[in-house]
Amino acid sequence: MQEINPHIVAITEIIPKRLQNIEVAEFSISGYTMFMNNAPSRGVAIYVKNEVNAVECEDLNKHAFKEAVWCTFKAGIESVLLGCIYKSPSSTDDNIELLNNLLREATSRNFDKVCIFGDFNYPSVC
């Protein structure tokens, strides 16, 4: 990150499968605001440079689909919504429906730009 100096970085599966006792502070990166999902199983995070002034999108972060995190910021006059998703390859149909509902809700908001990234684990989708 020091070499490329990106404004935004999104990471999925931040918690290793066999290591669950990690403190949130271990994920912090100097110069970046970190947004991480609550009570993560595998975890997702978005890092945004402090100067961007991103804020948590609280209502989307309280959604029933848990492996997602959302934040928003202004880019000039445009409002931007960022979302990072992790869907386990072993997700149930109910969990997939929760994810679909979350995506519909996020994209129906009045943001000028919406960027959703992550690991959706759909191997047959190119």
Per-residue pLDDT tens for 88-103? Answer: 999 999 999 999 999 9
**Contact between 78 and 113 (Cβ < 8 Å):** yes
Name the phi and psi angles at 79, rounded to 5: -95, 140
Q: Does residue 104 form part of some domain?
A: yes
Q: Does residue 124 form part of some domain?
A: no
Q: Does residue 35 form part of some domain?
A: yes
Split into its structural domains, the chain has a count of 1
pTM of the full structure: 0.91
Q: Does residue 77 form part of some domain?
A: yes
Q: For residue 27, what pLDDT band results from cuts at 50, 70 and 90?
A: confident
Q: What is the CATH number of the domain that holds 36?
A: 3.60.10.10
Q: Does residue 126 form part of some domain?
A: no
Which residue range forms the structural domain that includes residue 45?
A: 8-119
Give the pLDDT score at 38. Answer: 86
Q: Does residue 2 form part of some domain?
A: no
- Which burial class, exposed, middle or buried, applies to 114 when counting CB atoms under 10 A from its CB (0-12, 13-18, 19+)? middle
Decide the pairing of beta strands 113-119 and 78-86. Answer: parallel
Share of the chain above pLDDT 70, in %: 98
- Res. 20: pLDDT tops 70: no
**Contact between 46 and 35 (Cβ < 8 Å):** yes
Sequence-ordered alpha helix ranges (H) in the chain: 58-61, 93-107
Q: Does residue 3 form part of some domain?
A: no
Q: Does residue 125 form part of some domain?
A: no
**Six token digits for residue 11:** 């990471």
**Contact between 121 and 91 (Cβ < 8 Å):** yes
Mean pLDDT of 56-70: 95
